[in-house]
């Protein structure tokens, strides 16, 4: 067993500032505290001298531009499980350690990823790309990994002896023991874990309690950790609420990218894909805009999902500024990568029709792509329809033009010659679309062949209905 622990010190910030990246000095308030005290600060705020535990008023006095927000614990939980979804690609056993750490068993997957250095590189690069600063460490004991992730970033200790030695050198304040136990031990003159390990067990239990001793056992691997395995959920729903209303589609792209990436992480964990999802934008006065995004085949790539959602969003005219954005996907079908013949020559971009169809629809809209079908109706304008092609029905006996005008137009000047006709078409008395026409194939002054009709029994009043192109 080798437990890797990932700690995300900036998780609270990422969760609270999900709608827009934090810029400039910012701080978070602890929502549980009775007074409004600063709980966490970012680097820029720290440079202004703002510290944890200050009151908001004091902090504002130091830096008037400070952006203060309450901690959003629910969002933190969601973000942590989203990260667990992403980590699930590296290990079959991922466990959440609230508020801001993850544990994963990587011993079993080391061979698959070509060893620890390669695995670390992939984890680090992936988290970096998603904008999550983190520290990590790995040891055979989950609790020890958790301790080292905070104190010694990048540390790997494969053997038990090494873990004990490294733990021994740690100051008590970093040991993960409860604060009361640390204070008590400090008062007794102990400084490092080494000193505590040497104490007789009954004595130690009396002084720091059963929980403290149990913790010391766990970090040394003498007691096992109960680590519930994280399970990927069966559907995806996530919402980001904005502080201010966002106008237009451009500012929505940042939260949209967050949502599609979270969805892609879940899909990777489930080894699934998504074929349709819905974006819901809420406006003032309870109005909302729903944008459906559908794909020809299940997809799972973060970039691709974002591009598709973006083109749809940009094509939609929003009636009002948006207050929140929500991504909802109910069905997460099994993902089947496209199968290609080994010897099939790949032409051009090597796209298949569904992918091309999707790309065209995303830019031009669903209505722009059409197919034609023959309908069994004698009226020429009803014999051809846009829709899914069906099995060919009986075709009209007469010659038909390749181009049909959207509606018949008066023909000027009159045709110079009649090449064929008349063909009497009389139909539709039963549905109100009554038609009674004599069709001719005629020739115009320019030598064009046209399909034109006259009312029965008449010799002029030519109506042009199609071209024999």
From 155-163, 199-207, 370-378, 421-429, span contacting another protein (CB under 8 A)? 370-378
Q: Is 450 in the site for another protein (CB under 8 A)?
A: yes
From 193-201, 212-220, 277-285, 440-448, span contacting another protein (CB under 8 A)? 440-448
Q: Which of 35, 64, 392, 432 binds another protein (CB under 8 A)?
A: 392
CA distance 128 to 374: 56
Task: Please tell me whether the peptide bond between 413 and the residue prior to it is cis, using omega within 30 degrees of 0.
Answer: yes
Q: Quote the tokens at residue 354.
A: 């569904």
CA distance 99 to 88: 18
From 153-161, 216-224, 356-364, 422-430, span contacting another protein (CB under 8 A)? 356-364
From 116-124, 281-289, 331-339, 396-404, span contacting another protein (CB under 8 A)? 396-404
Return the number of the residue (34 or 446) whose C-beta is nearest another protein. Answer: 446
CA distance 56 to 61: 9
Q: Shortest Cβ distance from residue 275 to another protein (Å)?
A: 20
Q: Which of 320, 351, 435, 463 binds another protein (CB under 8 A)?
A: 351
Q: Which of 448, 455, 456, 461 binds another protein (CB under 8 A)?
A: 448
Q: Is 413 in the site for another protein (CB under 8 A)?
A: no
Q: Is 334 in the site for another protein (CB under 8 A)?
A: no
CA distance 123 to 109: 13
Q: Which of 385, 427, 438, 463 binds another protein (CB under 8 A)?
A: 385
Return the number of the residue (179 or 371) whose C-beta is nearest another protein. Answer: 371
**Checking phi first, is residue 115 left (phi over 0); if not, alpha (psi -120 to 50) or beta?**
left
Site for another protein in 56-95 (CB under 8 A): none
Return the number of the residue (112 or 369) whose C-beta is nearest another protein. Answer: 369
From 188-196, 249-257, 267-275, 357-365, span contacting another protein (CB under 8 A)? 357-365
Indicate the SS3 state at residue 222.
coil
Q: Which of 189, 202, 337, 389 binds another protein (CB under 8 A)?
A: 389
Return the number of the residue (32 or 446) whose C-beta is nearest another protein. Answer: 446
Q: Do 336 and 354 touch, CB atoms closer than 8 A?
A: no
Q: Do 384 and 396 touch, CB atoms closer than 8 A?
A: no
CA distance 181 to 38: 25
Q: Which of 52, 186, 201, 370 binds another protein (CB under 8 A)?
A: 370
56 to 16, 18, 214, 228, 250: CA distances (angstroms): 17, 22, 38, 38, 33
451 to 408, 419, 458, 466, 467: CA distances (angstroms): 10, 10, 16, 5, 6
Q: Is 356 in the site for another protein (CB under 8 A)?
A: yes
DSSP codes, 291-321? EEEEEEEEE--HHHHHHHHHHHHHHSPPSS-
Q: Which of 90, 181, 444, 453 binds another protein (CB under 8 A)?
A: 444
Q: Is 343 in the site for another protein (CB under 8 A)?
A: no
Q: Shortest Cβ distance from residue 45 to another protein (Å)?
A: 48
For 28, the enclosing helix (H) or strand (E) is strand 26-29
CA distance 152 to 170: 10
Q: Is 34 in the site for another protein (CB under 8 A)?
A: no
Return the number of the residue (128 or 370) whose C-beta is nearest another protein. Answer: 370
CA distance 423 to 336: 54
Q: Do 131 and 14 touch, CB atoms closer than 8 A?
A: yes
Q: Which residues contact 215 (CB under 8 A, 6 or more apart)?
A: 143, 176, 177, 178
CA distance 40 to 150: 16
Q: Which of 128, 165, 206, 363 binds another protein (CB under 8 A)?
A: 363
Q: Is 355 in the site for another protein (CB under 8 A)?
A: yes
Q: Quote the tokens at residue 325.
A: 């954005």
Q: Shortest Cβ distance from residue 385 to another protein (Å)?
A: 7
Q: Quote the tokens at residue 186.
A: 């400090």
Beta strand pairing call for 417-427 and 403-410 = unpaired
Q: Is 304 in the site for another protein (CB under 8 A)?
A: no
Q: Quote the tokens at residue 413.
A: 């000047």
Q: Is 466 in the site for another protein (CB under 8 A)?
A: yes
Q: Shortest Cβ distance from residue 308 to another protein (Å)?
A: 15
Q: Which of 298, 401, 408, 415 binds another protein (CB under 8 A)?
A: 401
Q: Is 339 in the site for another protein (CB under 8 A)?
A: no
Contact string (CB under 8 A) for another protein, positions 165-184, x = contact: --------------------
Q: Is 379 in the site for another protein (CB under 8 A)?
A: no
Q: Is 315 in the site for another protein (CB under 8 A)?
A: no
Q: Which residues contact 293 (CB under 8 A, 6 or more apart)?
A: 276, 277, 278, 279, 308, 309, 312
Q: Is 402 in the site for another protein (CB under 8 A)?
A: yes
Q: Is 348 in the site for another protein (CB under 8 A)?
A: yes
CA distance 376 to 391: 11
Residues in contact with another protein by CB under 8 A are 346-353, 355-356, 359-360, 363-364, 367-375, 380, 383-386, 389, 392, 395-396, 399-406, 444, 446-450, 466-469
């Amino acid at each position: 067993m080798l437990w890797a622990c990932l700690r995300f010190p900036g998780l609270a910030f990422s969760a609270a500032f999900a709608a827009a990246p934090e810029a400039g000095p910012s701080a978070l308030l602890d929502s549980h505290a009775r007074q409004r005290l600063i709980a966490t600060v970012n680097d820029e705020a720290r440079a202004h001298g703002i510290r944890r535990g200050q009151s908001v008023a004091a902090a504002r006095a130091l830096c008037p531009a400070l952006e203060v927000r309450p901690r959003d614990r629910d969002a933190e939980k969601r973000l942590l499980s989203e990260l667990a979804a992403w980590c699930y690609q590296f290990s079959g056993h991922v466990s959440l350690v609230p508020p801001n750490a993850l544990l994963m068993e990587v011993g079993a997957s080391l061979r698959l990823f070509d060893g620890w250095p390669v695995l670390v590189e992939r984890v680090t690069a992936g988290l970096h790309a998603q904008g999550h600063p983190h520290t990590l460490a790995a040891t055979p004991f989950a609790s020890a990994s958790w301790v080292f992730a905070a104190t010694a970033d990048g540390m790997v200790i494969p053997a038990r002896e090494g873990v004990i030695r490294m733990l021994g050198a740690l100051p008590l304040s970093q040991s993960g023991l409860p604060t009361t136990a640390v204070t008590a031990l400090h008062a007794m003159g102990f400084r490092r874990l080494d000193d505590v390990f040497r104490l007789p067990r009954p004595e130690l239990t009396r002084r720091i309690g059963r929980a403290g001793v149990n913790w010391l056992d766990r970090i040394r691997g003498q007691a096992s950790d109960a680590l519930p395995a994280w399970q990927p959920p069966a559907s995806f729903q996530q919402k980001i609420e904005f502080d201010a209303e966002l106008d237009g589609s451009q500012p929505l792209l940042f939260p949209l990218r967050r949502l599609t990436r979270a969805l892609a992480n879940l899909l990777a964990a489930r080894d699934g894909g998504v074929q349709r999802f819905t974006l819901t934008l809420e406006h003032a006065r309870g109005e909302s805009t729903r944008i459906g995004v559908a794909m020809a085949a299940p997809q799972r790539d973060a970039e691709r999902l974002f591009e598709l959602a973006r083109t749809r969003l940009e094509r939609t005219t929003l009636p009002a500024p948006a207050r929140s954005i929500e991504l909802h996907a109910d069905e997460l079908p099994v993902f089947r990568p496209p199968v290609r013949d080994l010897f099939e020559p790949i032409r051009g971009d090597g796209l298949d029709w569904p992918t091309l169809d999707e790309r065209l629809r995303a830019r031009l809209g669903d209505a722009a792509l059409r197919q034609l079908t023959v309908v069994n109706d004698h009226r020429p304008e009803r014999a051809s329809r846009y829709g899914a092609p069906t099995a060919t029905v009986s075709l009209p006996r007469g010659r038909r033009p390749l181009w049909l005008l959207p509606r018949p137009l008066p023909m000027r000047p009159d045709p110079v010659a009649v090449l064929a006709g008349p063909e009497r078409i009389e139909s539709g008395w039963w549905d109100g679309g009554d038609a009674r026409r004599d069709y001719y194939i005629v020739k115009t002054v320019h030598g064009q062949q046209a399909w034109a009709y006259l009312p029965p029994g008449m010799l002029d009043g030519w109506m042009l209905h199609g071209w024999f192109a």
